Amino acid sequence: MSFSAPPALLPFTPTLAGRTVLVIEDHEDSREMLSAVLRSLQAHVLAASNIVEAEHELHMTRPHLIICDLKLPDGSGLDFIKWLRAHRQWALTPCIAITGWKDHFPDAVIKQFDSFMVKPVDLDRFCNAAIALTQR
């Protein structure tokens, strides 16, 4: 009697498959780069360049994760997170803040976000945070 080896198991590859992510970023290049990275993880990506567009997207769908720049043309990411947390239907949605202006945002205020990253964003850390926050 001969035994064959079990088929090799593929290593677990974390993805965002089945997850919707809203990216709020006013700089087109940054928005496209973050969106491309999220799509490479198989996320469905919605994009907004300001708070008004983001609020519109939220009324159309319920994302599993939000990525939000802190400096936007029609307000700050802090204005947005306060608005978001005040609405029961989105209050628990995980949010990652990103900014190139860290010195302008005190740590106590940034704690309203689930994660915080300084531009240029470390993409490995970004992907790990996005996956972790959508798995809870």
Residue 105: pLDDT band (50, 70, 90) is: low
- Asked, for residue 41, whether it belongs to a domain, the answer is yes
In this structure, what is the dihedral angle of CA atoms 91, 92, 96, 102, given to the nearest 10 degrees? 50
- Asked, for residue 70, whether it belongs to a domain, the answer is yes
Q: Shortest CA distance to 34 belongs to which of 132, 135, 123?
A: 123
pLDDT value of residue 96: 97
- Asked, for residue 72, whether it belongs to a domain, the answer is yes
User: How high is the mean pLDDT of the chain?
Assistant: 89
Q: How far apart are alpha carbons 55 and 97 in whole angstroms? A: 16
Does residue 23 register a pLDDT over 90? yes
pLDDT value of residue 104: 64
Does residue 108 register a pLDDT over 80? no
pLDDT value of residue 11: 54
**CATH number of the domain within which 53 lies:** 3.40.50.2300
Contact (Cβ atoms closer than 8 angstroms) between residue 112 and residue 81? yes
pLDDT in tens, 37-50: 999 999 999 999 99
Does residue 103 register a pLDDT over 70? no
Which range (32-41, 92-101, 123-132) has the least confidence? 92-101
Write out the E strands in 2-52: 20-24, 44-48
- Asked, for residue 107, whether it belongs to a domain, the answer is no
pLDDT value of residue 106: 64
Q: How many domains does the chain have?
A: 1
Residue 112: pLDDT band (50, 70, 90) is: confident
- Asked, for residue 48, whether it belongs to a domain, the answer is yes
- Asked, for residue 38, whether it belongs to a domain, the answer is yes
User: Tokens 């010195």 map to which residue?
Assistant: 103
- Asked, for residue 85, whether it belongs to a domain, the answer is yes
**Mean pLDDT value of segment 23-31:** 97
Length of the chain: 136
What is the span of the domain harbouring residue 80? 20-101+117-134
- Asked, for residue 65, whether it belongs to a domain, the answer is yes
